[in-house]
Amino acid sequence: MSRDVFSFIVEASPSAIWKADNDKDLPLHHVMYAIDENHLISDDSADKSFKVRILLEAAGDVAPFMARRRNSSGKTPLHVLCSHMWGELRVVKKLLSLCPDLFKLVDSDGNTPLHLAAYNMAPIKVLRKLCSHEKDRCGSDKCPTMLKKNFAGNRPIDLIKLVTPKREWRDRWKEIKSFLKTETLETETRRSNQGEKRKNYN
């Protein structure tokens, strides 16, 4: 679909951007599910990043509410995006800039976007962005979500260990596992050190 056509559809039916399906997914959620086939996309094609921008612009002042909207599984659009191997960094940045606290919201299974990005082997740049954004928000050099357990008792590092990647994805799996292991250990160490400092102070 061309950019002009997509823009026309949104402009012609502004109320449709809030119409949810049976799973309570908004059009913004559906955009996250879609795969952009790069070899089929022309310069004028409405790719994921473009569609997200148009939908959020159409939402106007309540765009943050749209970005935080949950479907029947408790997933925000960011959760859905991180649930796929083709999660796009540009879209992650857009959503986080609009709603800075999206990184810490959990779905019905207790998963943050980072948990889903780990389990579904999203691009390493996406995981790094989620981590660095959280550090910026916390004003520290640790990423607490690395130690956060979902309702099944799994941290992001535990989830990547549950994955058995196909051969062509094994390098990505190793890179993600290494990143999560390093960040988890660093966060654990810093939390332990802070605990010791408080203990000594008391």
Distance CA 70, CA 85 (A): 21
| Structural domain count, the chain | 1
Task: Kindly report, residue by residue over 53-68, the tens digit of the pLDDT.
Answer: 999 999 999 999 999 9
pLDDT at 36: 65
Three-state DSSP class for 69?
A: coil
Q: Supply the range of the domain harboring residue 161.
A: 62-201
Q: Is 20 contained in some domain?
A: no
pLDDT at 86: 84
For 38-56, how does the pLDDT look when each residue is reduced to its tens digit (9 = 90+)? 544 556 889 999 999 999 9
What does pTM read for this prediction? 0.91
Any domain includes 91? yes
Q: Which two tokens stand for residue 26?
A: 């908004």
- pLDDT for position 61: 97
186 domain-assigned? yes
Give domain status of residue 54, yes or no: no
CA distance 35 to 140: 35
Tokens of 16: 């449709």
Question: Which pLDDT score, from 0 to 100, does residue 37 have?
Answer: 54
Tell me: the pLDDT tens digits for 135-179?
Answer: 999 998 899 999 999 999 999 999 999 999 999 999 999 999 999
User: Which CATH number goes with the domain that contains 197?
Assistant: 1.25.40.20
Classify residue 52: in a domain, yes or no. Answer: no
Confidence at residue 45, expressed as pLDDT on a 0 to 100 scale: 85
Asked if residue 34 is part of any domain, the answer here is no
**Is 44 within the bounds of a domain?**
no
